[in-house]
A and B are shown apart, each in its own frame.
Chain A
Amino acid sequence: AQTVTQSQPEMSVQEAETVTLSCTYDTSESDYYLFWYKQPPSRQMILVIRQEAYKQQNATENRFSVNFQKAAKSFSLKISDSQLGDAAMYFCAWSETSGSRLTFGEGTQLTVNP
């Protein structure tokens, strides 16, 4: 079974600094998709960034970027110039194909200190 592991239950960062959240996954598939979702206190699930496994180039979305290491099955999220609004629970997720279920990690609670 596919699993997603986030080994950091909590992380903190100073405002304007950079933080990296870790995620590893286990799969025997060669093609799949990876995602980071943000869940603020409102508990809404907000897509932050996605990565297709067949693409070697790491995805970026403004201050958010990923370091995708396919051989190592690692998918970390880097948040640059952290802002107070970035404080949230961050979930890493995996899916096999278009339409298939998302498998989530346990989440990392990010605190941004002013």
Chain B
Amino acid sequence: EPEVTQTPSHQVTQMGQEVILRCVPISNHLYFYWYRQILGQKVEFLVSFYNNEISEKSEIFDDQFSVERPDGSNFTLKIRSTKLEDSAMYFCASGSPPGSITDTQYFGPGTRLTVL
């Protein structure tokens, strides 16, 4: 069964450094998402991506964040200058295959980002 994959599983970085989190969505899905979950809190939406552009973003997704689909398979989240409060689990999700009338998002296993 196809699944969303994410790398790395755990990333440790110094405050102020740039990080790139990588995701490979399910191949026939059209929508791609990033969510984050600070430890002990609920899952929060960051951004959605459709047809090679951002379709929606939250207040959290400020100028230090960017997303890219550099090729036909990868979907990346870049944080330009990490802050301590960026420490969280970051989930990639993909959804809505062609012809689907439902909106089911399938999540990857997450990348745990630790900013020191």
> A residues engaging B (CB < 8 A)?
33, 35, 37, 42-47, 50, 52, 91, 93, 95, 97-107
Among B30, B103, B107, max chain A CB count under 10 A is at B103
Interface string of B56-76 (1 = CB under 8 A from A): 101000000000000000000
B35 closest partner in A (C-beta): A102
> B residues engaging A (CB < 8 A)?
30-31, 33, 35, 37, 41-45, 48, 50, 55-56, 58, 89, 91, 93, 95-96, 100-107, 109-110, 112
B109 in contact with A50 (CB, 8 Å): no
Query: What CA separation (Å) do A92 and B101 show in the bound complex?
Result: 20
A-B pair count, CB < 8 Å, reads 70
A91 in contact with B42 (CB, 8 Å): yes
Query: What CA separation (Å) do A102 and B101 show in the bound complex?
Result: 16
- Given the known interface contacts A42-B109, A102-B35, A106-B42, the answer about A50 and B104 at a Cβ–Cβ threshold of 8 Å is yes
B109 in contact with A44 (CB, 8 Å): yes
B31 in contact with A99 (CB, 8 Å): yes
Query: What CA separation (Å) do A91 and B43 show in the bound complex?
Result: 9
